[in-house]
């Protein structure tokens, strides 16, 4: 008699808003859909409340989602989506009152969802903010997928996030981290974590060159030196400034949302900023650029992170020049790494006129074993173990 396969246990995932920015957790979940049932909980509270235009827009978006409007998945470039849950939350966890209020709000919103599932779900979180929910929701297992060191992330409520992470980690049955630095951090908190670096969707990034210049680059002097991602205090002004002053022609283009960057960054020579581009636009922008760069500072926050764009840059085939960090050092044979403004500038100017060296092209072949599908399978295997 043939045994009927057991349907997969449902997952409840706490993370950033689905579709707002394609994060590593979103890539993993998308690779497992539709076979893996997932309820995705959009959360807030990582940043201290500020009175600025960005916060106003964020609040407006949250109010819209709480009123019942579906989040925009199409804008993310992701064709599949889990069940989206947008519970009402207080936008801070800083005080005892705020933590207690958010616990009550989240349990009230999520208990009916969890109890309606065929069995208790695996609960996965990328954020320490759910530390107070452990034990309050029926769960088969709690999993912490540690993607960044939020305690030192620019613009975040670091003290609160660090305190809640210290409370969360000992309660987790499985921990997974994206970098060696984060694995060591979790070990210091008493947990042995699996290392899962980010993946990449090779066919998506290997876009053929377009005969027409992208409108985002209209009017900009060539050659184009391109960065995409969050523009914040992780950008090294010395690296960008030295490059801009050394270029006799061309433009340094920073594409992405601005999260309180140093105002001096936007005044550096040859630097222009463009708004965040949709995911599906990025391969075309890369094809129109001469060099892709990551001029990050060398600091604990950047040593801990695993930039999604690193393997995306490599997958485009374009010359890449990056700051030497823990994550980039692992791919030093596939791109140019720099530790000083002078060496960064020298490498960029050389790559503007030369294509990606054959040796670097050969080194990039190992991206074939870095697919999001493979990463997602490993992720699920560790969770199911």
- The per-residue pLDDT for range 180-199, each reduced to its tens digit, is 999 999 999 999 999 999 99
CATH code for the domain in which residue 270 is found = 3.40.50.2000
Residues 195, 208, single domain; the answer is: no
Angle formed by the axes of helices 237-246 and 341-353, to 10°? 50
Residue 2 has pLDDT above 90, yes or no: no
What's the mean per-residue pLDDT of the chain? 92
Q: What's phi and psi for 33, nearest 5 deg?
A: -80, 150
Q: Residue 3 domain-assigned? A: no
Residues 191, 213, single domain; the answer is: no
For 228-271, how does the pLDDT look when each residue is reduced to its tens digit (9 = 90+)?
Answer: 999 999 999 999 999 999 999 999 999 999 999 999 999 999 99
Tokens of 84: 């989206």
Q: Residue 136 domain-assigned? A: yes
Residue 209 has pLDDT above 70, yes or no: no
SS3 335: coil
The rounded distance, in Å, linking the Cα atoms of 16 and 14 is: 7
Residues 52, 194, single domain; the answer is: yes
Q: Residue 2 domain-assigned? A: no
Residues 178, 285, single domain; the answer is: no
Which range among 1-15, 31-45, 194-208 shows the weakest confidence by mean pLDDT? 1-15
Residues 361, 253, single domain; the answer is: yes
Per-residue pLDDT band for 51 (boundaries 50, 70, 90) equals: low
Residues 228, 114, single domain; the answer is: no
Residue 289 has pLDDT above 60, yes or no: yes
Higher pLDDT, 145 or 56: 145
Per-residue pLDDT band for 213 (boundaries 50, 70, 90) equals: confident
Q: Residue 229 domain-assigned? A: yes
Which range among 2-11, 158-167, 283-292 shows the weakest confidence by mean pLDDT? 2-11
Q: Residue 67 domain-assigned? A: yes
What would the mean pLDDT of 90-97 be, rounded to a whole number? 95
How many other CB atoms are there within 10 angstroms of residue 317's CB atom? 17
Q: How many domains does the chain fold into?
A: 2
Q: What is the per-residue pLDDT for 49?
A: 67
What would the mean pLDDT of 58-71 be, rounded to a whole number? 52
What would the mean pLDDT of 5-21 be, rounded to a whole number? 91
Residues 359, 215, single domain; the answer is: yes
Q: What is the per-residue pLDDT for 75?
A: 38
Sign of CA dihedral 207, 231, 80, 58: negative
Q: Residue 6 domain-assigned? A: no
Residues 170, 237, single domain; the answer is: no
How many residues would you count in the chain?
Answer: 385
The rounded distance, in Å, linking the Cα atoms of 333 and 326 is: 14
Residue-range definition of the domain harbouring residue 106 = 11-199+372-384
Q: Residue 350 domain-assigned? A: yes
Residue with tokens 């054959």: 358
Secondary element (H or E) of residue 303: helix 300-304
Q: Cis before residue 223, ω within 30 degrees of 0?
A: yes
Residue 297 has pLDDT above 60, yes or no: yes
Residue 70 has pLDDT above 60, yes or no: no
Residue 40 has pLDDT above 70, yes or no: yes
The rounded distance, in Å, linking the Cα atoms of 370 and 200 is: 6
Predicted model pTM: 0.91
Residues 25, 81, single domain; the answer is: yes
The pairing of strands 194-195 and 224-228 is unpaired
Residues 124, 216, single domain; the answer is: no
pLDDT above 70 coverage of the chain, percent: 90
Q: Residue 97 domain-assigned? A: yes
Q: Would you say 33 and 80 are in contact if contact means Cβ atoms under 8 Å apart?
A: yes
Residues 153, 273, single domain; the answer is: no
Residue 86 has pLDDT above 70, yes or no: yes
The pairing of strands 251-255 and 224-228 is parallel
Residues 380, 329, single domain; the answer is: no
Per-residue pLDDT band for 56 (boundaries 50, 70, 90) equals: very low
Secondary element (H or E) of residue 245: helix 237-246
């Amino acid at each position: 008699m043939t045994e009927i396969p057991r349907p997969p246990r449902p997952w409840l995932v706490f993370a950033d808003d689905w579709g707002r920015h394609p994060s590593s957790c979103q890539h993993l979940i998308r690779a497992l859909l539709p076979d893996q049932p997932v309820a995705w909980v959009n959360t807030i509270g990582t940043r201290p409340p500020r009175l600025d235009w960005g916060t106003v827009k964020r609040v407006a978006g949250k109010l819209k989602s709480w009123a019942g409007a579906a989040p925009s998945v199409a804008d993310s470039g992701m064709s599949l989506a889990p069940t989206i849950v947008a519970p009402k939350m207080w936008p801070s966890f800083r005080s005892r009152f705020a933590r207690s209020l958010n616990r009550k709000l989240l349990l009230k919103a999520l208990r009916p969802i969890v109890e309606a599932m065929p069995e208790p779900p695996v609960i996965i979180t990328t954020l320490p903010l759910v530390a107070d929910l452990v034990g309050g929701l029926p769960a088969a297992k709690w999993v912490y997928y540690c993607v960044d060191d939020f305690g030192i992330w620019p613009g975040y409520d670091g003290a609160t996030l660090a305190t809640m992470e210290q409370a969360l980690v000992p309660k987790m049955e499985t921990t997974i981290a994206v970098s060696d630095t984060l694995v060591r951090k979790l070990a210091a908190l008493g947990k042995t974590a699996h290392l899962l670096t980010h993946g990449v969707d090779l066919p998506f990034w290997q876009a053929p060159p377009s005969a027409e210049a992208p409108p985002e680059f209209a009017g900009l002097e060539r050659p184009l030196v391109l960065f995409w991602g969050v523009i914040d205090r992780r950008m090294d002004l010395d690296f960008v400034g030295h490059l801009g002053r050394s270029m006799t022609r061309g433009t340094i283009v920073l594409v992405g949302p601005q999260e309180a960057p140093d105002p001096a960054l936007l005044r550096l020579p040859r630097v222009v900023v463009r708004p965040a581009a949709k995911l599906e636009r990025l391969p075309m922008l890369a094809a129109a650029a001469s060099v892709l760069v990551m001029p990050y500072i060398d600091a604990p926050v950047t040593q801990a992170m695993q930039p999604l764009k690193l393997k995306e840059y490599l997958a485009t085939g374009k010359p890449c020049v990056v700051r030497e960090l823990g994550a980039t050092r692992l791919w030093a044979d596939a791109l140019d790494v720099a530790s000083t403004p002078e060496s960064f500038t020298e490498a960029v100017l050389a790559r503007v006129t030369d294509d990606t060296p054959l040796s670097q092209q050969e080194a990039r072949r190992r991206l074939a074993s870095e697919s999001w599908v493979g990463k997602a399978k490993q992720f699920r295997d560790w969770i199911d173990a």
